Structure formats: structure tokens, C-alpha cells
A and B are shown apart, each in its own frame.
Chain A
């Protein structure tokens, strides 16, 4: 499933934001137009894909957000909206007046939640108000960007607002050539140990976790993998391409790799062709370096595709200060960092 960025404007400034390259480098006022939304919808439909994720910035800030969601629903799409929920209460009310909470409606929110102790009070109030209105349609999301994170607040929000019992966990990825707070390669293992320390809470709260891209198999012991088997959705230690489409119809593999061979959506005839392009570019990158550890090159799990060797942004970031010895497209990307 690909993602469409409705707007680059955002209401938060998360320290780990791996979209900041895209959020800072372009015109913030740029928003997806109706003409482009219809083009993207036709592009997906003619490619046989009827699911679309809406992203930002904060997609709820797009002036036609509820209108565009209704349009996509009318076209028979399943829509997933990735939001912070930290929008003004009046805006939440307006959106709810057009998109009432109907469990049968093929519309879901993934609400990316930050630890309340690290966020301004007003932001926390806004998030709670949003969750109060849309709780049953919201699945929580959380980005791990330091090894000493806390998840207890999530269990509280899930129970208080009746959120879906499915937590999407992401690893904050580095932005090659820029600075953001992310989980370094050496701190992934301690972070995973921390994650498993919440296993009993997951089981007690009947909460399933879903590991997003970038996790590696070797970050867990066999015993921990057994525990994950019980509390996580089927495990897949993969890495992209996610495919993000910007408001200007530029396409890239994912936010942290937005400088690696970006193209215009208009250059592709189908979603399959587009995915092939980015799979090939990631393949090039992994041909240069198998994964985030030296051992990845000869890892049997990587050879059979059980693990892809972690986040490609870590690989690209590690190549940044090297001499230009890589494949031409990778060298071009590295020179632009």
C-alpha cells in the first residue's frame, strides 16, 4: 500500500521526525489538489490497488481532508489516515461532522502517539480530544527513538478511549546527511530488550504489536522471538519500499530515503512499475552493503529473505563519508546529502 502526502504542514516537531527533509525542503503551503487526487486514485485503481494511506505532515490540516476521504470512499477505496491527532478541537469536530464513527466504514486512523511527558500539555489535550471522538477507529502507533522509552501511557490511552488493540511500532530511522534523534545501530538491541520487558502488559491488555519496517531478526534471542510469536502479528523483518507520493507528485521510497532516486509519478504507467523502480534501487543499495551489521552480508536469514538486514537508511547514512566508490545512482544520492 502506498502513501499520499496531503500536505507538508505539521502541528508537531517530534525530535525523531524522519520526514523533516521533506517537510523543510519544500513549499509548506503545497497541498494535494483535487486534480492530482483524482489522478492518483485512477493510477491506483488501474493498477488493481484499492487501498491508500493518507499522510502528511498532518493530513488532517488539508483544507479538503473530509471531502477527499469521502471521495476516496465513494470510489471504493479503503483509506488509512496516519495522524498525530494533535489538531485544534474545532477541526476535530468539523471532521467528525462529515466522517461519523462508523465501524463498517472502510476508514481507519493510525494515531502516532508520543510520550505525554515529552509533549506540551496543550498537545496532549488535543490528542486526547481526538481519541475521544475517533477512538474505535484509531489504532495506536509509536516510534522508538531511544532505548529507555516507556509504553505504559499507551495502555492507559487504549483502555480509556477504546482504541484498536493493535499497536504499530516503528523504529525512528536516521535521515542520511541530516540530524534527527534516531535509534543508532548499537542501541537497537537494548531497545528491543526494553520492548520485551512490556510483554506481560501486552498480553494482559490483549494488545497485539506490529513491527513496522527496519527491525532485524538478530535483535532478538530465540526466547524473545517465542514471546513475540504470542504477542505480535506475524513477524516480518523487512525494509520498504513504502512508496510516498508528495503533494507535488514526486515519489520516493520512504521518508528517510527521499533523496535516493526520487521520480515523478507521471513517469510511471502503473504501481507495479513504480514499485519495481524502488525495489531495484534498494537492491542496488543492498548489493553494496547487505545490512546494518557487517555480519548481514553472510547471514543465512538474509539469504533466504527472512530478514532484509535492517533499515536501508542506516546503510546509506553509513556510506555518507566514504570515497565515491558506489554505484552511480547511489553516488549521486550521497553527493547530494
Chain B
């Protein structure tokens, strides 16, 4: 039987039990503050969550915080999609890196560029740079923990 659609505008008590029982995966959630909290709750209950970066105002700091939970959380939890894709993305080839190094645009000094690839150049902030830098750290952590190409066992 298909799962009932979830109304996340109501209080958590109304969707916590139902969602975690009926759903294995929740469709895209926007990345504004309250939805990041909801994503964390769902992930910790074992429900796969996907975040949609294209909607809403992005709170990069809160997103970094959620990324830390998704990658370094001490208990098993469901993957949060968006982070998984970003972390699994292979780092740029040396040739691309060299090209980037000689380019005189605003990304040349950005540490996060190796994960962002200039995609967020238009709204680049220090918090955004920190987020993508953390994605790179997470990529290295996963590589160390589980080996190349293997997803998080959680």
C-alpha cells in the first residue's frame, strides 16, 4: 500500500510516528531552518531524506551543522541525500585544478571550490565556503573510513 503523503507543516508529534512507520524515503525538503531540523529528526529515525538546494534561502551554517551530523553522527541513521551525492563526487582532475589556479576569478582563493566547482559563485559567502570545505573533509573522512567508492554503511 503506498504511503500517505506527509504534511510537515503540522507539529512533529503528528508525523513522527506515522512517517517513521510508513516511509522509507521522504521526497525533497527545502533547506530553510525548520526543514533542516525535520530532516535531522527523520534521518535519526531511519527515514531517508533528500534536501533541495534550489528552494528557499539557504542557511549555510545550519546546513554545515546537519552535514556534521550526517557524516559524523555517533548512532546509525538514514543517509541525507544531497550530502551523499556531494561527498561521492570525485575530486577535480589535476588539469582542471591547474586551470582553476591560473584563472583570475573570485573562486581562485576559495578552499571550497573543489566541492562547489563554482556553481554557487553568485552567492558566495564565508559560510558557504566553510560548508563546501566541510564536504571536502567529509569526503576524506569517508575515504579513510570505508575506502573509495563505498557508501556510508549507515
Asked whether, in the complex, the Cβ of B13 is within 8 Å of the Cβ of A42, the reply is no
**Among the listed B41, B69, B75, which residue makes an inter-chain contact with A71, where contact means beta carbons less than 8 Å apart?**
B41
Contact with B along A48-60 (1 / 0, CB 8 A): 0000000000000
Shortest C-beta distance, A45 to chain B (Å), equals 5
Contacts of A67 in B (CB 8 A): 11-13, 16
Instruction: Determine whether A204 belongs to the interface, using a CB cutoff of 8 Å to chain B.
Output: no
Question: In A83-113, which residues have CB < 8 Å from any B CB?
Answer: 98
**Among the listed B12, B13, B44, which residue makes an inter-chain contact with A41, where contact means beta carbons less than 8 Å apart?**
B44
Instruction: Determine whether B45 belongs to the interface, using a CB cutoff of 8 Å to chain A.
Output: yes
Contacts of A35 in B (CB 8 A): 37, 40, 65, 69
Cα A75 to Cα B13 with chains together (Å): 14
**Among the listed A42, A45, A64, A70, which residue makes an inter-chain contact with B17, where contact means beta carbons less than 8 Å apart?**
A70
Asked whether, in the complex, the Cβ of B74 is within 8 Å of the Cβ of A42, the reply is yes
Instruction: Determine whether B58 belongs to the interface, using a CB cutoff of 8 Å to chain A.
Output: no
Contacts of B69 in A (CB 8 A): 35, 38
Q: A67-B12, A67-B13, A74-B20 are in contact. Are A38 and B44 (CB under 8 A)?
A: yes
Asked whether, in the complex, the Cβ of B16 is within 8 Å of the Cβ of A74, the reply is yes
Asked whether, in the complex, the Cβ of B75 is within 8 Å of the Cβ of A74, the reply is no
Contact with A along B51-75 (1 / 0, CB 8 A): 0000000000000010001000111
Shortest C-beta distance, A297 to chain B (Å), equals 42
Cα A38 to Cα B12 with chains together (Å): 14
Contacts of B44 in A (CB 8 A): 38, 41-42, 75
Instruction: Determine whether A34 belongs to the interface, using a CB cutoff of 8 Å to chain B.
Output: yes
Asked whether, in the complex, the Cβ of A74 is within 8 Å of the Cβ of B40, the reply is no
Interface size on B, residues (CB 8 A): 16
Asked whether, in the complex, the Cβ of A70 is within 8 Å of the Cβ of B41, the reply is no
Asked whether, in the complex, the Cβ of A34 is within 8 Å of the Cβ of B41, the reply is yes
Instruction: Determine whether A66 belongs to the interface, using a CB cutoff of 8 Å to chain B.
Output: yes
Cα A33 to Cα B41 with chains together (Å): 11
Of all chain A residues, the one with the shortest Cβ separation from B44 is: A38
Asked whether, in the complex, the Cβ of B13 is within 8 Å of the Cβ of A70, the reply is yes
Of all chain A residues, the one with the shortest Cβ separation from B77 is: A42
Cα A46 to Cα B73 with chains together (Å): 10
Contact with A along B90-133 (1 / 0, CB 8 A): 00000000000000000000000000000000000000000000
Instruction: Determine whether A43 belongs to the interface, using a CB cutoff of 8 Å to chain B.
Output: yes
Asked whether, in the complex, the Cβ of B75 is within 8 Å of the Cβ of A46, the reply is yes
Of all chain B residues, the one with the shortest Cβ separation from A43 is: B74
Contacts of B45 in A (CB 8 A): 71, 74-75
Contacts of B75 in A (CB 8 A): 41-42, 45-46
Contact with B along A222-264 (1 / 0, CB 8 A): 0000000000000000000000000000000000000000000
Contacts of A33 in B (CB 8 A): 37
Cα A71 to Cα B69 with chains together (Å): 17
Contact with B along A1-40 (1 / 0, CB 8 A): 0000000000000000000000000000000011100100
Cα A41 to Cα B43 with chains together (Å): 13
Contacts of A71 in B (CB 8 A): 12, 16, 41, 45
Question: In B1-44, which residues have CB < 8 Å from any A CB?
Answer: 11-13, 16-17, 20, 37, 40-41, 44
Asked whether, in the complex, the Cβ of B40 is within 8 Å of the Cβ of A64, the reply is no
Cα A42 to Cα B154 with chains together (Å): 14
Residues of B within 8 A of A (CB): 11-13, 16-17, 20, 37, 40-41, 44-45, 65, 69, 73-75
Known: A38-B41, A38-B44, A75-B44. 6 other contacts (CB 8 A): A35-B69, A66-B13, A67-B11, A70-B16, A71-B45, A74-B17
Residues of A within 8 A of B (CB): 33-35, 38, 41-43, 45-46, 64, 66-67, 70-71, 74-75, 98
CB-CB nearest 9 A-B residue pairs: A67-B12, A42-B75, A67-B13, A98-B13, A46-B74, A66-B13, A34-B37, A42-B74, A70-B16
7 pairs of residues in contact across A and B, judged by CB atoms under 8 Å: A34-B12, A35-B40, A38-B41, A41-B44, A46-B74, A70-B13, A75-B45
